[in-house]
Structure 1
Amino acid sequence: MRVLTPGKVTSLFDPSEKLRPEAIYEGKLESQFRDYGVDDTDPIRLRVRETYELMHTNQTVEFVRGQWEKWLKFDNFRLSVKDALIKLNDLVDESDPDSDLPNIVHAFQTAEMIRAKHPDLDWFHLTGLIHDLGKVMAMYGEPQWAVVGDTFPVGCAWGDSIVYRKTSFNKNPDGRDERYNTKYGIYKPNCGLDNVMMSWGHDEYLYQVLKHNNSKIPKEGLAMIRYHSFYPWHAGGDYLHLCNQDDVENIQKWVLEFNKFDLYTKNNAVPDIEKLWPYYEQLIEKYIPGIIEW
């Protein structure tokens, strides 16, 4: 087993991946996903950039702590998982450059591809279906910059691979606070992601909702939910100095496996949702039944 040296955690990234032919998903090159190029004449690109600028300006340590206080009392509303999913039919993710469809379509696209590739892991199918369910906050008054998009730690220096990193944090006061603007900030080397305060959004919220309501989804599924939007880590290679052995050898492995289905299933083919409901309803009943507290 590898021995950790503070600040030097070995990633699972395989350099040989760069030498392989570029994969194609639904007729689209891998490199064509997550295109955050700036083009103010393109309404989707403009919407995406404005959402991230608001996020990166306002996601501070103080703000995240306030969101914990607001949302993690779990007294905001009571709703079944299915009813929460149906609400996503009215949500288009303003941070997503790859899809302009309601979020419930993406939920079923992700779940069905996982089901096809991992037919024996029913908890994985359900994880794919509900992974964005924390976005329901947007239906209860939360602005999308506090709900959607890539996540990142607050309380330390921002990683270089964060989208729009060069300019989007210019107005964030934590960048001028010596408690928060160094490499480690408020953290210790290799403290583990469990001990890192992430920017507030749908990942952390749904993870905490599932824990609070005693979901039976295994820890691998919960890790996928909690960190699937943490692209600066699992895709950009940043923040390894905060990771421990389990983060890199176990959690990252599952998050990377999930990411293939989350990102590369985005297309204009809409699944027959009504036909699929019975299968997923029995999974909801198995792993997180009834009316739950949000």
Structure 2
Amino acid sequence: MKILVDTHSIKLIDPSELLRPEPSFADKPVSQFRNYEIDEGDPIKERVRKTYKLMHTYQTVDFVKRKMDKWLKFNHFKGNVRQTLEKLNELVDESDPDVDVPNIVHAFQTAERIRQDYPNEDWFHLTGLIHDLGKVMAFYDEPQWAVVGDTFVVGCEWGPSIVYRDTSFVDNPDGKNPKYNTKYGMYEPNCGLEQLLLSWGHDEYLYRALIHNKTKLPKVALQMIRYHSFYPWHAGGDYSYLTKPEDEEIKKWVLIFNQYDLYTKSEKIPNIEELWPYYESLIEKYLPGVLEW
């Protein structure tokens, strides 16, 4: 079954929206989101900084290839979407400076705000609900620095907009490897997003898992999921010398999604039990049955 998406029914994000002090989709000023300033007296900021330090030390080309070999066999467990999502009720993302609640709450916050703005795009509602499902790796012996957080390209010079860029990579061995520490590293100029190897995390894992389990979600949903944490590219403007012009269309969709992923984080907690029947109907439509993870 091929799902067709009417792209004209989805409004593209106005980049200036992100610069307004109080965008309409946020419950607090935009300047208060993604605050990565160092404050040793703030336990959340310290948790975030330490998570990124570990990530930026150990996420190398070899590490990413090992994780892909481990996880893309999809032989760790079997479970339907609801069972897998409910595992996230026990997970608080250690890389996120904006939220200190279980990840399942964020999932429903994202989905419900998308549903409010796009009532007729049910595939988009489900995309919001499941976009972080790949974080289930954290329950199977993966440290959070190999699961959560912003992704970046491995195998070439690190992008300048990566959080904590100036201090957190000093112990990463790829930075001393001439195969990987130049502007293009192991890539060709403008080779395209598809050719890039990103740091290992929940985005790529879920993208691959959805394909493996033959989801009926449209391609645009898969692209939103695959690149939603790739902030140095879609928000920071890095890596333009590695991407193709057609990758800009993917960026538009990712930016549409990310206004809901980021700016719906708040203290407003949705009534998850009341919402389950609706979302289970979408799961049955687009991603039914027991899945291999």
The one-letter code of the counterpart of 1:120 is N
Q: Tell me which residue corresponds to 2:50.
A: 50
Equivalent in the alignment of 2:289: 290
Describe the SS at the equivalent of 2:85: helix
- Structure 2 match to 1:106: 106
CA contact (8 A) 2:27 2:263 kept: no
CA distance in 1 between counterparts of 2:205 and 2:116 reads: 28
- Whether contact under 8 Å (2:148, 2:201) holds in the other structure is yes
Relative distance call for 1:18 and 1:139 in structure 2 (3 A) is: closer
CA-to-aligned-CA distance 1:235-277 (integer Å, 9 cap, x gap):
00001111112211x1001000001000000001110000000
Cα distance in 1, alignment partners of residues 74 and 246 from structure 2: 29
Structure 1 gaps, min length 5: 1-11
For 1:71, the equivalent position in structure 2 comes to 71
Q: Which runs of 5+ in 2 are unaligned?
A: 1-11
Distance 1:15 1:128, change over 3 A: closer
Residue matched to 2:214:
214
Letter in structure 2 aligned against 1:157: E
Q: What TM-score do you get using the length of structure 2 for normalisation?
A: 0.93
Asked if the contact 1:134/1:203 (under 8 Å) is kept, the reply is yes
Matched ranges for 1:201-280 at <5 A:
201-248=201-248, 250-280=249-279
Structure 2 partner of 1:192: 192
Where do residues 123-202 of structure 1 align in structure 2 (5 Å cutoff)?
Answer: 123-202=123-202
What SS does the corresponding residue of 1:245 show, helix, strand or coil? Answer: coil
The C-alpha deviation readout for 1:151-186, integer Å capped at 9, x for no partner, is 001001000000000010000000000000111111
- Cα contact 1:24–1:30 (8 A) shared by 2: no
| Corresponding residue for residue 7 of structure 1 | none
- Measure how far apart 1:25 and its partner are: 5.0
Give the whole-Å Cα distance in 1 for the aligned partners of 2:95 and 2:21: 28
Correspondence for 1:9: none
Q: Structure 2 vs 1, CA of residues 178 and 285 (structure 1 numbering), >3 Å: closer, same or farther?
A: same
Distance in 1 of aligned mates of 2:104 and 2:17: 32
Per-residue CA distance 1:134-162 (angstroms, 9 max, x = gap): 00000111100000000001001000000
Cα deviation for residue 23 of structure 1 reads: 2.6
| Alpha carbons of structure 1 residues 211 and 196: separation in structure 2 relative to 1, 3 Å | same
Partner AA of 1:84 in structure 2: T
Counterpart check, 1:122 vs 2:122: yes
Letter in 2 for 1:65: K
Identity %: 67
Aligned partners of 1:111 and 1:128 also within 8 Å: yes
Distance, in Å, in 2 between the alignment partners of 1:39 and 1:103 is 24
Given that 2:78 and 2:290 are in contact with CA atoms closer than 8 Å, whether structure 1 keeps it comes out as yes
